[in-house]
Structure 1
Amino acid sequence: MKFVVSSSELLYHLQAVSRVVSNKSSIPILENILFELAGDKLTITASDLESTMVTSMSLDNSEGEGLVALPAKILLETLKKFPEQPISFDINNDSLAVDILTDRGKYSVVGLSGDEFPEIPEVDKDKSSNLLLPASVLLAGINKTLFATADDELRPVMNGILMEMSPENLTFVASDSHKLVRYQRMDATTEFSSSFILPKKPASFLKSVLVKEDGDVTIEFDDKNAFFVMENHRLVCRLVEGNYPSYNAVIPQDNPNKIIVNRQEVVNTLGRVSLFSNQASNLVKLSITGDKMMVSAQDIDFSISAYENLSCQYSGDAIEIGFKSAFLAELLDNISSEEIVMELADPARAGIFLPLENDGPEDELMLLMPMMIN
């Protein structure tokens, strides 16, 4: 089989699927990318058994058809160094010898049989559900929650994003036991109620390709796999098995102490004051009274300390509470609002962080567990 393709266009599609390729796979075929030519359509597939990414492109100049797996690393590194130009692939279907021809030279590799490549799972129609989402909504849900997922081998259900569908809203939830994020969309509803846990790795794959998708995403899932079909890409991933913890039970209700403060001012202050915190604990203390919030940190071992005062709007009793500054800064970086509301009950209970005004159909809530102040 033969085909001619733009070097930059091929590189774009290869980079999209190559994120799935594992460099340390015990199965050699998985270090390759599968090329399938049928008519004027080239389909490119990569897999690590847990996730499979598929993309396709139309060709103006092609001949024959066939299936071959080509080494991912060599292809990518070579294409990155090419200027924009047409590239010809000449593949012997019997020997799997591949010649890549440019106007200046020839690059030769030997592929593997495409028949060895793992088959893409099929959805179980008897157990499946499906929904249609704008790509922007799915991207927002992943962006808001991915950073809060855990890396916990003992509790794999925490290593992904919970997606809950209902007639009222679509909810994305992630937590690593220290922080929790709940992001809801009132403009994305379903006639059924269901849920699944999207693992962290395929969620990051989706994040990378959704930024260039404008249309809708078809999501179909059964009890084992989820299928995401976009205009230019398709992702199939194995879901996390198990039940997600009851996250609503850990969100404190009726918090009497409410602070309104400028988000960026807090982030900038944290960046300065946290440099003076104990390196092991990374503890910063928030002392709130009247219309003032003091952010302070100290490291007794090195006799260093710092504090800054910020103006705020506060209703409640004077309170002191400690947080891990890295976690607090991470939460604040992911809230899309100039002003934020902090809701506190007491120094031992989780703090709630909300945008002052939720935009339109969005509702976002972030929670952070406090640290003990010595």
Structure 2
Amino acid sequence: MKFVVSSSGLLSHLQAISRAIASKSPMPILDNFLFSLEGQKLTITASDTEVTMITTLDLETTEGEGVIAMPSRILLETLKKFPEQPLNFEIDEETLAVDIVTEKGKFSVVGQNGEDFPALPQIDEDKASNVQLSADTLLTGIVKTLFATAEDELRPVMNGILFEFTPDNMTFVASDSHKLVRYQRLDVKTDYEASFILPKKPASLLKNVLPKEDGEVAVSFDDQNAYFTMQNYQLVCRLVEGNYPSYNAVIPQDNPNKVIVDRVDLFNTLGRVSLFASQASNLVKLHLSNNEMVVSAQDIDFSISAHEKLSCQYDGDEMEIGFKSGFLADILDNISSSDIVVELSDPARAGIFVPHDKSENEDELMLLMPMMINA
């Protein structure tokens, strides 16, 4: 089995899928990439059993067919050191010896039997749901929500992104119980209702490869696994089992106090003022009065404090509410609008953050739980 491949092209594809390989693989074979040559098409697979990523390259020069597992670490590290050049792979299928021949040298490794690589999980056709999404829509939904996922061993359903499909829209939801993001696409509709929870690792892998893709992504899923099929990549993963909490129930509906403020100004002010917050609580306070917001923080232990005024549009009741500075910064960093609307009812209830300039096909809402302000 022989093939010729560009060093930089191969490296780009291997780097994209290598993140699927676990630092401590559950099986020795999973420390390898699986190479499968069929005709002019080279298919490369990386897996940790829970998540599998597959990429394909179309080659011009090939000889023979077959499968072999090659050590991932040495392959990646070697490819990083090569300048752009054609690489000749020569594989002895009996001894599993692999020679990588360049214009100036030869690099030899020993592979493993590709038949030992775990088979892909199959979707149950009787329970399967299928939907087509644009790569951009899927990427935006993941980017908007991934930061709000939890790290909760007791409630694994909170550690992923909820995908919800209905005849009206598609919804992405993530929450760590302090903050919640609900991102809806009104231009994605299905003739059925279905949902699944995508774990954090495959969501991160999709976030990395989707910018390289354009066109449609085919999503197929049942109650256990999901397939994301793109032009150059395919991701297969086990889904989080369980029911996602009723997220709409925690979103306060009656918020009479609304403030409109420049998002970047508030983000930059928060960045300065939060340096003076208590390291134990990271509490920052927002004091709202007639068309003015004062952002303040203090650390009594070190006798430091800061406050800064911001102009805004506000004619509600005078009030002061406290938030954890890091969580507030996350919200401001991930909401897409030059001006944002902050909807509040009272200092003990969650604040709602929405873009002031709403897109026609997007409905974006972020929620942040307040912190108690010590008198």
After TM superposition, the score normalised by the length of structure 2 is 0.99
- Give the equivalent residue in structure 2 for 1:104: 104
- Give the equivalent residue in structure 1 for 2:92: 92
Report the residue type matching 1:328 in the other structure.
Answer: L
Whole-angstrom distance in 2 between the partners of 1:315 and 1:237: 49
- Give the equivalent residue in structure 2 for 1:248: 248
Report the residue type matching 2:360 in the other structure.
Answer: G
1:140 aligns with 2:140: yes
- Give the equivalent residue in structure 2 for 1:156: 156
Quote the offset at 1:266 in angstroms: 0.4
Q: Write the deviation string for residues 277-335 of structure 1: whole angstroms up to 9, x where unpaired.
A: 00111000000000110000000000000000000101210010000001001100101
Whole-angstrom distance in 1 between the partners of 2:51 and 2:317: 51
Whole-angstrom distance in 1 between the partners of 2:173 and 2:147: 11
Quote the offset at 1:116 in angstroms: 0.7
1:46 aligns with 2:49: no
1:331 aligns with 2:331: yes
After TM superposition, the score normalised by the length of structure 1 is 0.99
- Give the equivalent residue in structure 1 for 2:349: 349
Quote the offset at 1:166 in angstroms: 0.5
Whole-angstrom distance in 2 between the partners of 1:112 and 1:303: 63
Report the residue type matching 2:270 in the other structure.
Answer: L
- Give the equivalent residue in structure 1 for 2:2: 2
Report the residue type matching 1:169 in the other structure.
Answer: N
SS of the residue corresponding to residue 87 of structure 2 reads strand
| Equivalent pair of 2:26/2:48 in contact (CA under 8 Å) | no
- Give the equivalent residue in structure 2 for 1:192: 192
Quote the offset at 1:27 in angstroms: 1.1
Give the alignment of 1:11-90 within 5 angstroms: 11-90=11-90
Report the residue type matching 1:353 in the other structure.
Answer: F
Quote the offset at 1:192 in angstroms: 0.5
Whole-angstrom distance in 2 between the partners of 1:228 and 1:196: 13
| Equivalent pair of 2:142/2:207 in contact (CA under 8 Å) | yes
- Give the equivalent residue in structure 2 for 1:277: 277
SS of the residue corresponding to residue 211 of structure 1 reads helix
Report the residue type matching 2:284 in the other structure.
Answer: V
Report the residue type matching 1:106 in the other structure.
Answer: K
Report the residue type matching 2:269 in the other structure.
Answer: T
Report the residue type matching 1:301 in the other structure.
Answer: D
Percent of residue pairs bearing the same amino acid type: 69
- Give the equivalent residue in structure 2 for 1:311: 311
- Give the equivalent residue in structure 2 for 1:182: 182
Which of structure 1's runs of 4+ aligned residues deviate more than 6 A?
Answer: none
Quote the offset at 1:23 in angstroms: 2.1
SS of the residue corresponding to residue 44 of structure 2 reads strand
Whole-angstrom distance in 2 between the partners of 1:316 and 1:58: 62
Give ranges in structure 1 of 5+ residues lacking alignment: none
SS of the residue corresponding to residue 353 of structure 1 reads strand
Report the residue type matching 2:58 in the other structure.
Answer: S
Report the residue type matching 1:153 in the other structure.
Answer: E
- Give the equivalent residue in structure 2 for 1:231: 231
Give ranges in structure 2 of 5+ residues lacking alignment: none
Report the residue type matching 1:348 in the other structure.
Answer: A
SS of the residue corresponding to residue 83 of structure 1 reads coil
CA RMSD of aligned residues (A): 0.6
Whole-angstrom distance in 2 between the partners of 1:185 and 1:272: 34
Report the residue type matching 1:45 in the other structure.
Answer: T
Whole-angstrom distance in 2 between the partners of 1:16 and 1:263: 33
SS of the residue corresponding to residue 23 of structure 2 reads coil
Q: Write the deviation string for residues 220-252 of structure 1: whole angstroms up to 9, x where unpaired.
A: 000100000111111100000000000000000
SS of the residue corresponding to residue 273 of structure 1 reads helix
SS of the residue corresponding to residue 234 of structure 1 reads strand
Whole-angstrom distance in 2 between the partners of 1:290 and 1:29: 65
Q: Write the deviation string for residues 112-157 of structure 1: whole angstroms up to 9, x where unpaired.
A: 1101100011111011010011111000100100000001000000
